[in-house]
Amino acid sequence: MNCDELTVAIGLSQGYRQLLRICLDTIPAEVGKIISWYGPGDPDELPPNTTLVRPRRHTDNFHAAYVLNVAIRAVATPYVLLADADFAFPRFFFQVIEPAADCVIRFFAARLTPPATSDVLAGTPWEDLYADYQGLHHRLYRVIYGANNPCMYPTEVLHRTRGYDERFVGWGAHDDELTARTRRLGLRDVRMPLIVAVLDDSNIDDYPGYRRRVMPQTNRRLMRASRQFCVNPDGWGDQP
């Protein structure tokens, strides 16, 4: 694909500074990058072709739908890849993807084991690890799963559906609900056999107790309620 047709949109807080640098280093310079940054402080020096946007209201690590919507609103290219700051992309990733106006393209994600993450943080090329993925070497991968995120959307579709439903908190349910709405619009789900790395960082606290207790209950209720909607009623939240 033409790299200038794509923007990578990432939502994150200051806790992911180190992983963000690695993530951005694996994205070609020609690809636009939008960082939706929440929390105090600023990210470290950003590479060229990177735009920083800030959510206007207070948020936290669990309101991914809102943070990503802020980034989506700023996208001007035909396609957008929604990603996380702890992703690393093989060098050939952006050379082989072929987006289409009638498709949502989803990719596999492999969570690297701590030793492999240490290698990447120390400068070992992600390609050296990626080359071993077919053998699923236990030193490299803890789990491989089919994630809703990272995924690539036609930007026009996200604008037409007004993005994620911001009543959802955390991760997962907001992707599922958006997937259901894009299917009703006639878009096809395409799974590409490309794997991105999910880096482990022991300094990041994901509050697993909160995620287990609160988010599943809240999102199950919202998923049941949202099935009646063909168009997202809440969309961009309180953004102008």
Which pLDDT tens digit goes with each residue over 76-135?
999 999 998 889 998 889 989 988 999 999 988 888 888 888 888 888 888 888 776 666
Query: Which position has the higher pLDDT, 171 or 185?
Result: 185
Using CA atoms, how far apart are residues 19 and 209, in angstroms rounded to an integer?
A: 23
Mean model confidence pLDDT for the chain: 79
Using CA atoms, how far apart are residues 138 and 197, in angstroms rounded to an integer?
A: 14
Q: What is the pLDDT of residue 134?
A: 60
In the chain, what is the straight-line distance between the N-terminal and C-terminal CA atoms, in Å?
Answer: 33
Q: Which of 48-62, 67-81, 115-129, 132-146 has the highest mean pLDDT?
A: 67-81
Peptide bond into 150 cis (omega under 30): yes
CA atoms within 13 A on the CB side of 67: 25
Q: What is the pLDDT of residue 148?
A: 64
Q: List the one residue out of 101, 94, 104, 84 whose CA is nearest residue 153.
A: 104
**Banded model confidence at residue 240, pLDDT cuts 50, 70, 90:** very low
Q: What is the pLDDT of residue 210?
A: 46
Mapped onto helix, strand or coil, the DSSP state of residue 7 is strand
Using CA atoms, how far apart are residues 240 and 237, in angstroms rounded to an integer?
A: 9
CATH of region 3-226, choose from 3.30.70.270, 3.90.550.10, 3.90.1150.10, 1.10.3720.10:
3.90.550.10
Q: Which residue has the tokens 């609160």?
A: 214
Give me the sheet containing 87-88, strands edge to edge: 50-53, 32-38, 6-13, 79-83, 141-154, 103-112, 188-198, 87-88
Using CA atoms, how far apart are residues 184 and 25, in angstroms rounded to an integer?
A: 36
Q: What is the pLDDT of residue 69?
A: 92
Lowest mean pLDDT segment, chosen from 14-18, 110-114, 230-234: 230-234
Peptide bond into 233 cis (omega under 30): no
**Banded model confidence at residue 239, pLDDT cuts 50, 70, 90:** very low
**Structural domain boundaries in the chain:** 3-226
Q: What is the pLDDT of residue 234?
A: 42
Mean pLDDT of 226-233: 42
Using CA atoms, how far apart are residues 214 and 38, in angstroms rounded to an integer?
A: 22
Query: Which position has the higher pLDDT, 57 or 236?
Result: 57
Q: For residue 10, what is the enclosing H or E element?
A: strand 6-13
Mean pLDDT of 161-185: 82
**Residue percentage of the chain with pLDDT more than 70:** 73
